[in-house]
Amino acid sequence: MRHCIRGTNDTCRGRGWPSTAVTTATDEMTYLVLADRASPYLLARVRWPDVAQAITIGSPDWLDDPGLFDLPYDPSAVPVSFPQAASVALAWGRHLQPEPDTSAPSFIRRMPANWSELSHAERRALGIESVGKKPTSARALRRLRQLRASRPAIASAATAHGNGYGGEVAVEHDVTGGPANGDSNVRAERHRDVRIRVEGRAVIRAGDMTISAGLVDLSESGMECVVPEARPLLESCANLSGPFLLERQGTTAQICLNVSGWISGHRSVDSVTYLGIAFGELSDAQTEGVRRFLASALSRGSR
């Protein structure tokens, strides 16, 4: 069963954010993602005893693999909802259907499967030999480090100008790397890290609901989303189970953060609600993934 609520707010459409959609689902299929530094590279669907299929970032054609029956028990696998799985598949050029592909070729492998340490033959068969080798712009990473290093100085300037939030500083930048609103763009808020403006989408798990909201900005400690219609639903379950799937608008860039979270606050501007979400503690790999995601947002024309 699925039930969708679509937002119709003109402000959101004008900013290029997707309409908010709330989905509840009770599918028999289990969907799982493997990620390298939070960037998804394998999507599997498993239903014992008849479905064990996967697509990857390098091979968007379904492959039958009996080793996938072991994947739900592997600590590196991230369970995702059907809407989150569909978003991952769409970024790879595949429209996810609820039913399995009956014509998918089979991969004969040595058992048992070790999904945390795939062999060269397995990586070659799955089309993921190059996973983890794609470099991030050194210039963008350097700019991100400079922003992080300048945070104390920015905080002093914000305090001197009387920004009355009483917290630490967030600095917004647009995806081309320039300030979103010029030099007046500095504002103090209750955030541990420098926030970067990243227009896109956040696909959020909240209990048995999946909520698709507009992504506004992101840091290593949390994010802000625009939620025209989903705010009451989110506030009713202030603790969010995760994972969080984040996508940059106009690109195929995605990260999947397998952490829980909670609603840290909200504000309303012209009848649009902006919701703050704080993340639980990220692993080192997830932290690096967020930094790469932010660095790519600072790279002009990055895809």
Question: Per residue in 75-89, pLDDT tens?
Answer: 999 999 999 999 999
pLDDT for res 145: 64
CA–CA distance, 300 with 10 (Å, rounded to integer): 27
- For 250: left if phi > 0, alpha if psi spans -120 to 50, otherwise beta; the answer is left
- Region(s) of the chain under CATH 2.40.10.220: 138-298
Q: Collapsing DSSP states into helix, strand and coil, what is residue 253?
A: coil
Residues whose CB is less than 8 angstroms from the CB of residue 283 and which lie 6 or more positions away in sequence, other chains included: none
Region of 166 (left: φ > 0; alpha: ψ -120 to 50; beta: rest) is: left
pLDDT tens readout for residues 4-35: 333 333 334 334 444 457 776 556 899 999 99
Q: Hey, which CATH number is domain 138-298, 3.30.565.10, 3.10.180.10, 2.40.10.220, 3.40.50.1220?
A: 2.40.10.220
Confidence tier at 180 by pLDDT (50, 70, 90): very low
The per-residue pLDDT for range 200-251, each reduced to its tens digit, is 999 998 888 898 999 999 999 999 999 866 566 666 567 898 999 999 999 9
Q: What is the residue whose two structure tokens read 């598949």? A: 89
